[in-house]
Structure formats: structure tokens, C-alpha cells
Amino acid sequence: MDKVFASAREALADVADGATIAIGGFSVGHRFALGLIGALREKGTRDLCLVCNSLGAPGELRGQVLAENRQVRKLIAAFSIRTGMSTAGEEQIAAGEMEVELVPQGILVERCRAGGAGIPAFYAAASTGTAIAAGRETRVFDGRTYVLEPAIRVDYALLRAFRADRAGNVQFRGGSQNLNTAFAKAARIAIVEVDEVVETGELAPELINLPGIFVQRVVRTTNAWDPTQVPQSKRRAADKPRLYRGRPALTRAQIAERAAALVREGTYVNLGVGIPTLLSNHLGVRDVVLHAENGVLGYGAIVNGTEVDPDIYNASGQYVELKPGASFFDSVTSFEMARGGRIDTVVLGAYEVDAEGSVSNWSTGDVRLGGIGGAMDLISGNTELIIVMEHCDSKGGAKLRRRCRFPLTGQACVDHVVTDLALLSWNGSGFTLREIAPGFSVEDVLALTEMQVTLAPQVSTMRVGTAPPAG
């Protein structure tokens, strides 16, 4: 049984207009099937329905180049846009030219896994109470409301892996299994682009992450894997503090430092995109195990230069070190850990938090245009939730509000909020102001806070640059 095709063009020869195609890969550029995507663009197949994490940035060999070529009719994804980018996909969605279905990242892979397993639908709580669940069938189990999630089946899956044999057995490397396994199982025809093809039998059975029964075609890549060419998540040129009333607040690194001190010893912790990723640089040798939804458990600080391994990265796409005892797995397993209540603490950024402890962090109004990512799944497992963010938005408006204006990520779920001006903790019926940034008064903070808060018996000054007391 030989599943190796001579070229990407040959492997895609039977893809017809109107096909549903899943595109594997994660974050801003890690392990995408560049040759297959480029060949599909050249083929010009139209009216495609794409299933993916996101379309990517302009010009990247991702789903975005297919959108730029007017080949996409519908998008099913966890991100329809990414903040700070103006793309062809976004323009077509806004104009009503591209249909979009936003799906929480963990539910996306679980729907694909279900499709591959012959399960037509399942119930999950991740999107309960959010705009994503509007109009959907729900059911109550053990007092909790769950949303019916239909399985996803696709015609083709375009995937990227490290190595495969001629029988289609596939080996992924590091944290690069991510969505690939679920997408392969959901596909009628899974096509895998690999760095190396070996003879059948040369892959040790314990190294096979995806058995050949799920793979129909294999293509050797013509695109060399160069980690220096992978765009990293955008970082500010300098971590300068924001000024409030002419006085500097905490920097983003200092927000992360204070939030890191809230993390309890002996816990499993997930760090979201943005400021949360910086916490990994402030945990040191503490007994904390970091979890990333792309499929890594036990990573450490952000690295660069010669320390970079292209297949070891966090959910923001930043290269990281591994800690002793680290492990790799696919995104289905990763979100099983989250929804199953195995993750103790989740740290997320946010647009807004309200007086009921609800949070908005994925859309500023148009539910077609946003990035849900894995946040809804991550906080659905009854986890401790720490929000890190700047105290006010870019126009000076309050982000700690009486009621969130933007679509919710989760209801009544926030335990702590660390901003560049304050630390607040949930007290059972509202938030208590516990600490304020150096150089500011309680009155300063309250004037910039829309929600009503109570004051701790003694509101202290946030300590940064030294290790503040945990909890």
C-alpha cells in the first residue's frame, strides 16, 4: 500500500468546486501545509468551505491566500480576524460575501473528532450563555445547561507533519499535532505534507501519532522548515507604562509579575494570548505546570536565538523552553484537560469585566468578526480565572464595568483581576479592591472604575520588582 503522491498538484487533482476543506496548523505560522495550500490556490477551486483555526495574515500561505483569490464561500473557525490585521477575509465577511461560523477552538476539534468517530452530535457547556449559543438547542444535565454541537465532516484535510511512511503512518514532532489529528479523522481524504518520507516499517510503532488508516495521501514538502521565517506574535517595541493623569501605571511585564504571584503552588495553569504569556517568565522554579492548548504540558519561559526549537511553542506561537516531565499531545486531548476540570487556573486577557464577574475577550460587537480561540473551553471546567489587562481602553474608557457591552466569553466566572492600576478579587457578591499601583490613590482607581467595588480593610500598594505575597 503506497500512499505517496509525486506532487501537491497531483494530490489535489480531484478537489472540486464547493468542497469542504480543513486546514491544519496553529497560531501565526507553525507547521502549515504550505505546498498543498499553494497548489490549491493555483488550481483555483471555487466556493470552498474552509475549516481551520484562522485564515492567517495577508499574503501568508494559509487560508488567507485562498480568500484573497476569492475561492472561499464559508469559513468555520475559531478566529475570523486577528487584532491589528486588515485582511481580505475580514473585508469579505463584513460585506456579506463570506459566510462565517465562529466556533470555540476546543469545540471545533471535538466536532471534527466526533465526525470522524461516527457521532452525529454532542452536548457541551463551553458556549452556554454566549452569543455563539443563541438559537441553539440546549439541555440541562445535573443542573448545568449544555449546548448541542453538531459533528463536522470534511471532504479533504490539508495537514503538515514531520515524517510519514508510504503506508500513511504519520509522526508529528513536539507540539505540532494540534488540530491535525482531529481534522484527519473528520476527512474523507486526508492529505499530509511531510518533511521526510520513509519506507513502511521504518517508523517505530510507538512513534506513530496518526495511523495510516486515517491518511489517504502523502506528499513530500517542497517548502523547507525555517523557524526564523515564522512570524512571531507581535510585541510592543518597548514595554512602556500607560499614563493616567500624567502618572505611569504598571508595565505589561509588571502586570504579569503580580498575576504570577497569585498562581498557587502545585497547580496546572493555562496562559492566554498577550499579557498572560508573560507570566511564564515570572514563575521561575515554582511548582507550577503550564498547559498550552496546541498540545504542550510542562513548558517554561519564552526563548529566542539558538534556544529556539521550531516545534516547541505556546498557544501564542512564541517559542518556549521545556521543563522536565513535559509532554505533547493533540488539541482534542488538550481541551479534554480543560473541559474535564483538570486545569486549576486560567489566565486570560480581556476587553471588559463586569460587576457580575462576567468577561468579554473575543469580540467588540460584531459576532461574525472576532477571535474566540480556546477561551470558552478553558473556563468551562470550573477553573480559577485570573484576568490581566490595562485598567482603561485606548480611549480612556472603563474596562471594569457595571455590565459588559461586548459579547460574553463567560458568565460569572472571574476570580481575580490584575490591571496596571489595581488588584481586585471576587468576594462572592462583587469585587474587592485589594491593591493599587504605586503612585496612585484609591480615589484615582475608583474614578477610573465604572463598577461598584468594596474596599479591603487595608488597601495596600502593589509590589513589583520583588516577589509579592502569593494569593
**What single-letter DSSP state applies at residue 215?**
-
Q: Are 226 and 214 in contact (CB under 8 A)?
A: no
> Residue 389's closest CA among 299, 263, 273, 281?
273
d(CA 233, CA 302): 12
Residue 360 burial (C-beta neighbours within 10 Å; 0-12, 13-18, 19+)? buried
Rg of the chain on CA atoms, in Å: 23
Active site residue 149: no
Spell out where 259-318 has E strands: 267-271, 288-292, 296-302
Distances from the Cα of 373 to the Cα of 77, 233, 238, 341, 458, angstroms: 9, 15, 26, 18, 38
Q: Are 130 and 409 in contact (CB under 8 A)?
A: yes
Torsion of CA 414, 419, 423, 424, to 10 degrees: -40
Spell out where 41-124 has E strands: 48-52, 72-77, 99-102, 121-124
Q: Which of 110, 257, 293, 384 is catalytic?
A: 293
**What single-letter DSSP state applies at residue 409?**
S
- Which residues have a Cβ under 8 Å from the Cβ of 403 and sit 6 or more positions away? 354, 355, 356
Cell of 185: 479523522
Q: Which residues are catalytic?
A: 293
